[in-house]
Chain A
């Protein structure tokens, strides 16, 4: 018998067959044998993978009643949603810019200050979300240091039409329709979603809401035609647009000077893919992914209607790619890939349209020496037009110790290329007075200002700094899983990430008016390490319990060195006395919780059509920002208190599952922290109605 994972390119039929099996299971929060594609870029059973992978199924998302990607991810073990110019994802203690977000294997673009806003992604048409933790640059290149989140959209399995609507607190309305059509050789789907909310306001006494009203539309379509068993063409496209109003006071409370405006986001992806298979052992795909992301904002003074600010940001991404899979034997197979990325940015804060391109190639070999061993070795080479070349290798192995216990380990290198902002930004803040220039701009700007006699002092010669290097990480993951019984599953993973050459802003020069000129340099070395544990227990055919926990330690290595040298101090805010900081005072990097945990209970009664669940999510205290002037996290006042949110949902189906009514409460106990977490609304009550029509074919 061939091992399960020896069929890398599973045909459509096989996939639907596996789905059918998975769906017929009464209730499982974590399927033991889900097929995922993200970890190896080929279809694999989760149980066979030598790296930590989490899968969130459509069924689970439906039972939770989630609408947007951030709502789903914040409930998963080891993941935190952090807010910095949008809601982004923290994985293994990494900032959001170090995790790649993919839809059907292709990257979403449009990051503001590094954060990809997760609420841009609607989840009603998702088959599953795959989360790979640990470095994945060996397959995906830049930005995959912490991991990869891949959103797999549904492929039609029958003719089906689904309509749903949901209404809740803050006049939040979601309207969805999902149409699917399938014949023997051809399938197509059309997903439409409108989401709108009136927002909310923690400070009604001031002008402008905490979250202003916004509405957005998502249109997504996928079509596929199978010419023969050897040739298949698929086309997928997605369009997202959002509009949000913007109101604020640039004057004082006594003398208000009100500004009002509107911002818009447009995001477009298009991807044709040709899948092929030779009669021999070779198969593969060719794709041409194209994405555009554009934001526009303009605001005017309410007093006289004159323009306050107008800005735009326009990013494009084009990627042709080829991937080949060669099955040598049941014990050996290799995946090859090569491609090119052409990127450009044009924006208010850039002198001109900036472009760069990357050429890359990757290879991965899978070896199954015995039934107990599974070894994957791979690497990727990226050559970038601005900052040079990167090689990112990775090695992973799994060993089946007993039929119930598997051990796994992986080590890999990840990298993140300097982004457009770090290279080309040309920004003068006239209100606060400072300037920020990308590294490719800064020498020219300082020279120009020097010629004009504008430079007072140069602290750091940009010619000496040279070009930015990519940020790099070396990561280790060790762990195992224990299928204690058919109903009990435990997972444990230890991780350690050492990141060097982190890019940070630094003062390069000062103008004669005393204002600073910033640019970027490869400065910091940081680490994150910890343990992630999760387990699930099927209590009965109807009830499943699960729990997860992550322990996390982080730190800036240069800060630790300076503490050891006695160069960092703290001042007591009351006595004003200064003392030396010790290692035990140091709280690590800001925004990281030492402890995070979740506990969930899911109930399902298939016969009667009921589901119910209760999920509690704990986020331990984390550093918000420096308050005592030493720029490091040490004082208790610098932390945000830990908190628990509890979410519940109940649903009942009628008319042979054609109609489903659902109601729920997110943040049931109305936890808010308006100072530190303004993006977190209070209790959200909601109710929804789903109606589906289908015909078996």
Chain B
């Protein structure tokens, strides 16, 4: 035990000395985790006059993780956005039908456990509207659909590992599909409102 402590302290000393020598290295900032609440993903609008649903716009909400904000649809053919959301469909900014360098795969595990994306990981891309990086089907991608309650629930323990539009890395965990992230959503809860948390690594490394 004592030996181990000695070894540890000498190693730390060595590390400190090495760092001292190279002054031009900026200290690595820990990657921050942000939570986005109630991001609308083409929600069904209700005509206040008739109470009838008007249907959506059929447009994706494009989101930049670096900027942590919505990107205008006019920028859809750029690499400025990283993930797009419309209903349960999620798109990435990479592949045959996109302009950016994006990609994604689904990691099974806890968000905090994913410290580094393995070098062997394969990123999928959006090849066609029916062949997306993140499959849009119950149990296949990020959600489960309950045919009895008609509710969409994000599968716990699924993390979307994302390559962003400009080729950086991020991880995203969808937390709720309903406005206000209610603890017990019902069929009258307003759907198509995402709450998710993400970590974006701006330095291009695969570490979080």
Chain A residues with a Cβ under 8 A of chain B: 252, 254-255, 432, 456-457, 459, 507, 510-514, 516, 566-571, 573-574, 576, 578-580, 625-631, 637
Contact of A569 with B51 at beta-carbon distance under 8 Å, contacts A507-B140, A629-B155 already known: no
B130 touches A512 (CB 8 A): yes
Is there contact, CB below 8 Å, between B110 and A629? Answer: no
Flag if B173 contacts A567 (CB, 8 Å).
no
Interface hit among B9-17, B20-28, B145-153: B145-153
Distance in angstroms between the alpha carbons of A513 and B183 in the assembled complex: 32
Of B110, B140, B153, which contacts A628 at CB under 8 A? B153
Chain A residues contacting B144 (CB-CB under 8 Å) are 626, 629-631
Closest 9 CB pairs of A and B: A569-B157, A629-B153, A456-B130, A254-B51, A573-B183, A569-B156, A571-B156, A512-B130, A576-B175
Most chain B CB atoms below 10 A, which of A567, A579, A629: A629
- Is B157 in contact with A578, judged by CB distance below 8 angstroms? yes
The answer to whether A578 and B156 touch across the interface, beta carbons within 8 angstroms, is: yes
CA distance A511 to B89 in the complex (A): 15
B50 within 8 A of A: yes
Residue of A with least CB distance to B188: A253
Contact (Cβ within 8 A) B181 A514: no
Which residues of A have CB within 8 Å of B109?
A: 566
Residues on B with beta carbons closer than 8 Å to the beta carbon of A573: 183-184
B111 interfacial by beta-carbon distance below 8 Å: yes
Q: For B128, B151, B183, which residue has the most chain A Cβ atoms within 10 angstroms?
A: B183
Partner pick for A629 among B53, B111, B148, B154, CB 8 A cutoff: B154
Known contacts A569-B156, A578-B173, then 17 further A-B pairs from the complex at CB < 8 Å, ordered by chain A residue: A254-B52, A432-B147, A510-B135, A512-B130, A513-B130, A569-B110, A571-B175, A573-B183, A573-B184, A576-B176, A578-B110, A625-B146, A626-B153, A627-B153, A629-B144, A629-B155, A631-B139
Q: Which residues of A contact B76 (CB under 8 A)?
A: none
How far, in Å, is B113 (CB) from chain A's closest CB?
10
Known contacts A507-B140, A510-B130, A629-B156; is-contact A578 B111 (Cβ 8 Å): yes
Check if B131 sits within 8 Å of A255, measured CB to CB.
no
Instruction: Kindly list chain A residues whose C-beta atoms are within 8 Å of the C-beta of B130.
Output: 456-457, 510-514
Contact between chains at A514 and B136 (CB < 8 Å): yes
B168–chain A nearest beta-carbon distance, Å: 24
Chain B positions near chain A (C-beta within 8 angstroms): 50-53, 89, 108-111, 128-131, 135-140, 143-144, 146-149, 151, 153-157, 173, 175-176, 181, 183-184, 195
Which of A432, A456, A630 has a CB less than 8 Å from the CB of B131?
A456
Kindly list chain B residues whose C-beta atoms are within 8 Å of the C-beta of A576. 175-176, 181, 195
Closest chain A CB from B142 CB (angstroms): 10
CB pair A571–B154 under 8 Å, yes or no, is: yes
Contact B184 A629, beta carbon cutoff 8 Å: no
B51 touches A628 (CB 8 A): no
Q: Contact between A628 and B156 (Cβ–Cβ < 8 Å)?
A: yes
CA–CA, A567 to B113, complex, Å? 13
Closest to B140 in A: A507
**How far does the alpha carbon of A625 sit from the alpha carbon of B147 in the complex, in Å?**
11
Q: 11 A-B contacts, Cβ less than 8 Å apart?
A: A252-B53, A457-B130, A457-B135, A459-B140, A514-B89, A514-B130, A567-B108, A571-B156, A578-B157, A627-B184, A637-B184
B137 contacts A514, C-beta separation under 8 Å: yes
Task: Chain B residues near A254: list those with CB within 8 A.
Answer: 50-52
Cα(A570)–Cα(B51), bound, Å: 36
Judge whether A630 and B156 touch: CB under 8 Å.
yes
- What is the bound-complex CA distance between A579 and B111, given in angstroms? 10
Shortest distance in angstroms between B111's beta carbon and chain A's nearest beta carbon? 7
Q: Is the interface of B mostly helix, strand, loop or mixed?
A: loop
Shortest Cβ gap from B178 to chain A (Å): 11
Name which residue of chain B comes closest to A255, CB basis: B52
When C-beta atoms are compared, the residue in chain B nearest to A507 turns out to be B137
Closest to B111 in A: A578
**A626 and B146: CB pair below 8 A?**
yes
Instruction: With A507-B139, A579-B110 as known contacts, state yes or no: A568 contacts B131, CB within 8 Å.
Output: no
**Residues of chain A contacted by B108 (CB below 8 angstroms):** 567
CB distance from A302 to the nearest CB of B (A): 19
CA distance A580 to B110 in the complex (A): 8
A516 close to B183 (CB less than 8 A): no
Distance (whole angstroms) from the CB of A322 to the closest CB of chain B: 45
Contact (Cβ within 8 A) A516 B184: no
Q: B131 to chain A: which residues have CB within 8 Å?
A: 456-457
Partner of B156, one of A512, A513, A570, A574: A570
Which chain B residue has the least Cβ–Cβ distance from A455? Answer: B130
Could you say which residues of chain B place their CB within 8 Å of the CB of A516?
A: 137-138
Report the bound CA distance from A627 to B155 in whole Å: 10
Residues from chain A with Cβ under 8 Å of B128 in the complex: 456
A625 in complex: contacting residue of B110, B140, B149, B156, CB < 8 Å: B149
Within 8 Å CB of B143, what residues of A?
629
B138 nearest CB neighbor, chain A only? A516
A255 touches B154 (CB 8 A): no
Tell me the bound Cα distance from A456 to B131 in angstroms. 7
How many angstroms between the C-alpha atoms of A567 and B148 in the bound complex?
A: 25
Give Cα distance in the complex from A568 to B156, angstroms: 8
B148: A residues at CB distance < 8 A: 625
Determine whether the beta carbon of B138 is less than 8 Å from that of A567. Answer: no
* Chain B residues whose C-beta falls within 8 Å of the C-beta of A510 in the assembled complex: 130, 135, 137
Q: State in angstroms the CA–CA spacing of A424 and B105 once bound together.
A: 36
* Nearest neighbor of A516 in chain B, beta-carbon distance: B137
Please, which residues of chain B bring their CB within 8 A of the CB of A628? 153, 156
Q: Which residue of B lies closest to A513 (CB)?
A: B130
What is the distance, in angstroms, from A18's C-beta to the closest C-beta of chain B? 49
Task: Give CA–CA (A467, B140) in the complex, Å.
Answer: 24
Scoring A513, A514, A568, A578 by chain B CB atoms within 10 A of each residue's CB, the highest score goes to A578
Q: Which residue of B has the minimal Cβ distance to A573?
A: B183
Q: CA A514 – CA B87 in complex, angstroms? A: 12
CB distance from B167 to the nearest CB of A (A): 26
Q: How far is the CA of A570 from the CA of B156 in the complex (A)?
A: 5
Asked if residues A252 and B51 are in contact (CB atoms below 8 Å), the reply is yes
Residues in chain A near residue B181, CB distance under 8 A:
576
Complex Cα spacing A513 to B148, Å: 22
- Bound CA–CA A1/B178 (angstroms): 77
Q: Which residues of A contact B110 (CB under 8 A)?
A: 569, 578-580
**B50 with A255: CB separation less than 8 A:** yes
A contact residues around B175 at 8 Å (CB) = 571, 576
Shortest C-beta distance, A512 to chain B (Å), equals 4
Residue of A nearest to B147 (CB): A432
- With both beta carbons as reference points, the residue of chain A lying nearest to B173 in the complex is identified as A578
Within the complex, the shortest CB–CB distance from A440 to chain B, in Å, comes to: 24
Task: Kindly report which residue of chain B lies nearest to residue A511, judged by CB atoms.
Answer: B130
Assembled-state Cα–Cα distance A510/B141 (Å): 13
CA–CA, A630 and B138, complex, Å: 12
Chain A nearest CB: distance from B31 CB in Å?
18
- CB neighbours of A568 from chain B (8 A): 157
Query: In whole Å, how far is A513's beta carbon from the nearest beta carbon of chain B?
Result: 7
Contacts of A631 in B (CB 8 A): 139, 144
CA distance A507 to B140 in the complex (A): 9
CB neighbours (8 Å) of A578 from chain B are 110-111, 156-157, 173
Please determine whether A630 and B157 come into contact, CB atoms closer than 8 angstroms.
Answer: yes
Residue of A nearest to B175 (CB): A576
CB distance from A569 to the nearest CB of B (A): 3
Q: Would B155 and A630 count as touching, CB distance under 8 A?
A: yes
Residues in A neighbouring B136, C-beta threshold 8 A: 514
A513 proximity list for chain B (CB < 8 A): 130
- Kindly name the residue among B139, B143, B147, B156 whose own CB sees the greatest number of chain A CB atoms within 10 A: B156
A569 CA to B51 CA, complexed, in Å: 39
| Most chain A Cβ neighbours within 10 Å, of B52, B131, B155 | B155
Name the A residues within 8 Å of B51 (CB-CB): 252, 254-255
Residues on the A chain within 8 Å of B50, using CB: 254-255
- Chain B residue contacts of A571, Cβ below 8 A: 154, 156, 175
| Chain B residue nearest in CB terms to A429 | B147
**A625-B149 Cα distance, complex, nearest whole Å:** 9
Are A574 and B183 also in contact (CB < 8 A) when A456-B131, A507-B140, A514-B136 are? yes
Contacts of B138 in A (CB 8 A): 507, 516
